[in-house]
A and B are shown apart, each in its own frame.
Chain A
């Protein structure tokens, strides 16, 4: 929905701001969140369109920094029609409130990297799909003993440091995160070079001791990949990668965690979030089966079998990722840790934005930030609609098609096409059709305000 001066006001809503959920309006224009007070006093203009949000909660759009695919698409396997596959996932993700993501490639061979990587370009999102922040490369420079679902034959050592990486990946242009094991020969040098290039390094699939992990952090790593999974279990004499949560390095270390109720026990989630609250990032680590029923799928070169939502490497009991989108992960996480809603939402928005160093434009609903946000039911956390760069995603628009009416309060005087043909230019007030608004509607009629009625 675009308005005349592009200024849209959401009212009767709760928003997440400064780590608190407050009843506050949200004003947006040209894809950014604006300060209504400034618009009022300085520009002296009124919003073109006002949207009654019916008490819904608006949270910053979710950011998934580790997602292997979904809806039948596997980012590491499908080397034909890569753009199409990415676009499909980007579009579907919007229905789950994910407005930005890092397509993740698991350990693959050189050929796959050269075919796929150049085609996954960073791309600003729109109502047609979530923003692609850049690729997350997980492997092949990982520890064989902690391979998880990765193909052992393809695992390599970065002996020549960054040169090994460049040789394998071809180019790092589209890459924002590289997961590697810091204890491997050449890894420390690679971490240093990656950090200098502005690429975030995540430590994972590793048997690193705490000392090795801390050295990685000192060289620039700031993430841990799917905490607890594919690393040494906590040991009190050498806590390993897990020990980074309570490390004395002065840098904030972030860690991805899968809270699909399968990969990480609720108690483990609580241990993590109580030890290092600010570092926790929810990731889906979803595979191609995300959004689809049980059956046979792929992850990279390996066959995957999904039974009751659990994704295994076919014929084994090795977990290979989740089938749950981030919106469900937020809900599961909140229930498992009994944390406050504000925090749960931030672990899927602000924290990943901070980890990637984009928290000056994403991850919050502050003035000047990108207008990427998600409407949630305040109790069930069900996603109602996603907005990206100030536009409502196409999927949620589809369902609204037949419910859009314009009324002067007494009579329905126009349908959707009339709305498009001119009513929207008149700065109308939008009121939902929900029965509890009837009183307000009648009052509006009395006050002789013309109303557009739209089912949200």
Chain B
């Protein structure tokens, strides 16, 4: 596990975007050879998307041969609802880059048969050859995607009932009326994300500090589902200073001392060489 501690949210956004850029370039995608990217929504990754759009505009990267899978989507929310993740992805990312619509996959929360939709999604990931890099964010309660506390750590894509905390946190997007917040969501499972070759989790802000400490300093625990990634071979936590508030000084010092090594990860160092960096 690597922990990259950066100054603030904007540096995290930039670093994360550079990391994605580096991974895509290293992979050198082309016709019949797609880079497969897992993507989150929410406030934390927004800056990363904006930077990626900049890179695209500067001609540094193309998404033509990139296949994407989004982590989750509300059940029953129309595709064009401003709070739907379809809407978010279109407006914050897809429409700005050259990604092909056939290769941008978002779970359909309005599907008639939700279970079949989840199976279809898993199958698509499999057909794409698995995810090369899954980018995620976490909730203050340590959930990854919509894998709420108590979710199975080997779960696959499925329908999930949202925790009261999540509804409460999201009601501000739905006229402050908790009854309007969709109570269910489709989400990739912890196991689905665990299958990715690499995982990058973005954590910013003091309100996520406890979740970060639970994620990396305590044991694997299904009440903090993101802690499962302690058992992932190539997991990367990228956080800002604020998010380290609950960490031990020892932990912070250790990882900060490695910052020079970490910098190599977003430079043009081949991935297999990077894997030897510690």
Contact = CB atoms under 8 A, between A and B. Distances in A.
Are A and B associated in one complex?
yes
Interface of A: 25, 35-46, 440, 442-449
A440 B102 contact: no
Nearest to A445: B59
Interface string B74-116: 0000011000001100110011001011101010000000000
Contacts of B62: 447-449
Contact of B59 (A38, A42, A43, A447): A447
B57 interface: yes
Contact of B80 (A37, A43, A46): A37
Contacts of A39: 101
Nearest to B79: A41
A170 B80 CA distance: 51
A44 B95 contact: no
Contacts of B57: 440, 443
A45 B101 contact: yes
B102 to A, nearest CB: 5
Nearest to A42: B79
A445 to B, nearest CB: 8
A42 B94 CA distance: 14
A40 B59 contact: no
A420 B61 CA distance: 30
How would you classify the secondary structure of chain A's contact residues: helix, strand, loop or mixed?
A: helix
Interface of B: 57-62, 79-80, 86-87, 90-91, 94-95, 98, 100-102, 104, 106
Contacts of A45: 101
B50 to A, nearest CB: 14
B59 A440 contact: yes
Contacts of B91: 37
A46 B87 contact: no
A37 B101 contact: no
A41 B86 contact: yes
Contacts of A40: 90, 94-95, 101, 104
A9 to B, nearest CB: 10
Contacts of B101: 39-41, 43-46
Pick the 3 closest A-B CB pairs, nearest first.
A443-B59, A44-B101, A447-B59
B69 to A, nearest CB: 14
B21 to A, nearest CB: 12
B74 to A, nearest CB: 15
Given A41-B101, A45-B101, A46-B101, A446 B59 contact: yes
A48 to B, nearest CB: 13
A445 B59 CA distance: 8
Nearest to B62: A447
B226 to A, nearest CB: 29
A442 B60 CA distance: 11
Which of B87, B98, B106 has the most chain A CB atoms inside 10 A of its CB?
Answer: B98
